[in-house]
Chain A
Amino acid sequence: MSLYNLLDLIQQYEWSISVLMLLIYTAIVRKLTSFNVLLILLLFLTYLQFYWDVTISKHFGREDISDLITALWYLGFGISDFIFVVLSCFIIRKNHLETNTPIRMIIYSYIALGVVQVITYLERFIFSTKNLYYFYEYAIPTVNASVTVIIFVYTAMTVLNGFSAKRLESDK
């Protein structure tokens, strides 16, 4: 299995892993934190982007609106990534939720995803070249897979901390 296939495989299971991790994390922590806010918004985003992908893909062969379809493909994903970041930050700030390193990494990852989408499109739109496309092809699954790994590891760490706290309590 090539690296690309592995990244793509992790990316495909992002939604299912996120749902599972959200349930486990919320069951352990039992309160609203930045992490479950991010996960809930991430689930909506993944769902929306899946339908965007399906909808735009249907029009790929149309010559009359090919420029618009290309723009909607790249910029649609980019705009949705940025909206995800703006909404997450807004909710985190409004509820005075604390942020830590994994939260920062997820937020920065989605900014990076949005920037890659917009820059790749602008390169095609302005310079009519596809040099960045090869970077794009690997960058998107890599970042998505990394976010999935962060979500998994952070939840696992929370579960382990929960067990060690319970053990400390029972030792008391």
Chain B
Amino acid sequence: MIDLQIISLVALAVMLGVASIILAYRTVRQPSKELDKLDNYSAHKLISDFIENADSDNSLDSKFEKDEEIMKKMRVYLQNCSSTSGIRVGGTVIHLSKFMRDLPESKLNRSR
């Protein structure tokens, strides 16, 4: 009787172990290798250039339509930043949390 209980426990532990490894891998897997190469300095510069060169009507939306790849790279950078991080662009400090909030949700989802 005890043996059966022990075997059940072992089976449960092994099953949960395998499930947790698979789920963890799928949850925390890295983005593509190409995007991974983007270091913090490049990402910072990319975002600065991107915002500085945004359309005169200050709409980021139209810019995202054109630069899907840049947006993906920015997301890789942003997801590694704390929400309180800020970057200086020209004379203006842009908080990444606000920057993220201002992005159109549809565009964010598309890059996930």
Contacts and interface: CB of A to CB of B under 8 A. Distances in A.
A31 B23 CA distance: 24
B5 interface: yes
Nearest to B9: A75
A85 B24 contact: yes
B10 to A, nearest CB: 7
A1 B98 CA distance: 48
A145 to B, nearest CB: 21
A78 B19 CA distance: 13
B84 A89 contact: no
Interface SS of chain A: helix
26 contacts: A65-B2, A67-B3, A71-B5, A71-B10, A75-B9, A75-B13, A79-B16, A82-B20, A85-B20, A85-B24, A86-B23, A89-B20, A89-B27, A93-B23, A93-B26, A99-B28, A99-B79, A103-B28, A107-B24, A107-B28, A125-B6, A161-B84, A165-B85, A165-B86, A169-B86, A172-B93
Contact of A79 (B2, B5, B13): B13
Q: Across chains A and B, which 4 residue pairs bring their CB atoms closest together, nearest first?
A: A82-B16, A85-B20, A165-B86, A98-B79
Contact of B82 (A68, A104, A161): A161
B103 interface: no
B20 A118 contact: no
Given A68-B5, A79-B13, 10 more contacts: A71-B9, A79-B16, A82-B16, A86-B20, A93-B23, A96-B112, A99-B27, A111-B17, A111-B24, A118-B17
Given A83-B16, A85-B24, A165 B9 contact: no
A122 B20 contact: no
A39 B2 CA distance: 36
A114 B85 contact: no
Given A103-B28, A107-B24, A82 B19 contact: yes
Contacts of A168: 86, 88, 93
Nearest to B15: A82
Nearest to B23: A89
A165 B84 CA distance: 6
A172 B27 CA distance: 39
B107 interface: no
A12 interface: no
Contact of B19 (A33, A86, A158): A86
